[in-house]
Amino acid sequence: MKLALDLPSADALPHPALQNVLQRAFFDVFERQFAGAVVVNTDARVVWMNPHYAEILGISDPNLILGERVDLLLPNTRLTEVLRTGEPILLDFMTHRDRTFVVSRFPIKDDEGNVIGAGGIMLYDAWQPLKPLVDKFSRLQQGLLQIRRDFTRERSARYTFADMVGEGAACKRMKELGKRAAGLDATVLLLGETGTGKELLAQSIHAASVRANQPFVALNVAAIPDTLLEAELFGAAPGAYTGADRRGRDGKFKVADGGTIFLDEIGDLPLTTQAKLLRVLQEMEIEPLGANQLLKVDVRVIAATSRDLAAMVEAGQFRADLYYRLNVLPIRLPPLRERTEDIPVLAGKLLDDIALRTGAIRKTLSPEALTWLGTQPWPGNVRQLRNALEQAAMLSDEGHQLDPGDFLPGAPPVHVVPITLAEAVQRAEIEAIRAAVMAAGGNKTEAARILGIGRATLYEKLTTYGLEKIS
């Protein structure tokens, strides 16, 4: 078949350089070797097609369609994409009239590298010869999907609202707010002392949200050195800093894409990093360290802190604009001393867990022990309660019911003296303040942070309870 390069229609005429290239190199090979072949000019109009390709299209004579747009003849063609990008598509499947073909597409360029046309060849008019390759690709794809599923499972939430033990008013209110937050795809700020279960609540919110099947990624901001925090959050380009991975690394925001990121102890975030986190919350874009491009992410942020962020804003230690971005749905987690009615059920659940993990006989608590536990300040909250129960269970006799003496070795049994609820709260506050000031080495600002209250509030309580001189 001769090239139809002398047609009167201007649309059908190829670029002069394209005509030369075609004449000296391709057509004889295309005609003999491939099941089908077609060449288009820069306007995506057919300038040559071999008879077999025309036959597949239901055309008796290829000359009849010279000058026609290839995307009208083949709606599923990607030759126009090759013309636009100048990049080949070397192996692909194309469907036409319920038949599937294995095809390859490539740009045709002149000596200066300009795209002057594109060619498409049909390697097979049936895909069965490539079945071994297709099967191998399918196995590799299934393996990749399994790896992704395993990764998502590892990054999934382990806890749900069912794991949040307690039926007191304070606990119920906390769970109600958590479930409300789960139904909204907005930023959540969890406020509470250390050991109150902030990550447990964060995981429960994620598990009950529309993002439940996507990753849940947690990061304790206070545990990461300031010099590494930006790369940990936003990632790093290859060789971004001395000692950086040559392949680069994804930050936690990228890993959590589509899911939830939990930023614990957000109050410890350096001011410089606060500005970058603010941009992420506003634009949902991250810029890896050392990179020159922004990456879009879709992440739900749950932040948590045991510090008084409002007081930090007033002191210039935390950005006001970031605080308002984070404080969209605030949820306060009550300290254990405000939910003493939950201690019996909490202690029972913790003793079950301790017995399951250690293999030891499950211990029980005497009424006196439960009363004693309810009068303690618990500055470490549920985490401290678990530690106390674990120590008592490990050090007590086999099968022994735990008494107050098991928590305080050598202490006599407790004789319960009824007191009002107000007196119990006052005693708990006094003990909590004493413990916090002692833990802070006499530093009142640090003690206020441990207690989760403002410094002014702490000084007021010190005056009220006559504790000004404690250190």
Model pLDDT, residue 110: 87
Model pLDDT, residue 4: 40
Cα gap 439→206, rounded to integer Å: 34
Q: Any idea which fold 421-464 has?
A: Arc Repressor Mutant, subunit A (1.10.10)
11 vs 336: which has the higher pLDDT: 336
Spatial contact of 71 and 81, defined as CB atoms under 8 Å apart: no
Could you name the CATH architecture of 336-407?
Orthogonal Bundle (1.10)
Q: Is 121 helix (H, G, I), strand (E, B) or coil?
A: strand
Q: What is the mean pLDDT of residues 76-97?
A: 85
Tell me how far CA of residue 230 lies from CA of 259, 279, 288, 333, in angstroms.
Answer: 20, 13, 8, 28
Model pLDDT, residue 122: 82
Q: How many CA atoms lie within 13 A of 186 on its CB side?
A: 18
Q: How many CA atoms lie within 13 A of 211 on its CB side?
A: 29
pLDDT digits 0-9 by tens, 34-84? 678 899 999 999 998 888 888 888 888 888 889 999 988 888 789 999 999
Q: What is the CATH number of domain 10-130?
A: 3.30.450.20
β-partners of residue 39 are 48, 119
pLDDT digits 0-9 by tens, 185-217? 999 999 999 899 999 999 999 999 999 989 999
List the domain boundaries for the chain: 10-130, 161-332, 336-407, 421-464
What is the percent of the chain where pLDDT is above 90? Answer: 38
pLDDT digits 0-9 by tens, 134-178? 566 556 666 655 555 555 555 566 888 988 988 889 999 999 999
pLDDT digits 0-9 by tens, 268-299? 999 989 999 999 999 999 988 887 888 999 99
Render 146-202 in DSSP notation, one character per residue: HHHHHHHHHTS----GGG----SHHHHHHHHHHHHHHTS-S-EEEE--TTS-HHHHH
Say if 161-332 and 336-407 have the same CATH topology. Answer: no
pLDDT digits 0-9 by tens, 387-438? 999 988 888 876 678 988 888 654 444 444 556 777 777 778 887 887 788 7
pTM as predicted:
0.57
Which of 339, 341, 355, 343 is closest to 390 using CA atoms?
355
Which residues make Cβ contacts (< 8 Å) with residue 417, sequence separation at least 6?
A: none
Model pLDDT, residue 130: 57
The token duo for 120 is 């498409």
Which range (61-65, 207-211, 380-384, 441-445) has the least confidence?
441-445
Spatial contact of 303 and 190, defined as CB atoms under 8 Å apart: yes
Cα gap 187→202, rounded to integer Å: 11
Which residues make Cβ contacts (< 8 Å) with residue 457, sequence separation at least 6?
A: 448
Tell me how far CA of residue 364 lies from CA of 100, 337, 370, in angstroms.
Answer: 70, 21, 10
pLDDT digits 0-9 by tens, 211-244? 998 999 999 998 888 888 998 999 888 765 555 5
CB atoms within 10 A of CB 138: 10
Q: Which CATH number fits domain 161-332: 3.40.50.10780, 3.90.1150.10, 3.40.50.300, 3.40.50.970?
A: 3.40.50.300
Which of 277, 263, 269 is closest to 321 using CA atoms?
277
The percent helix, strand, coil of the chain (3-state, each to 5) is 50, 15, 35
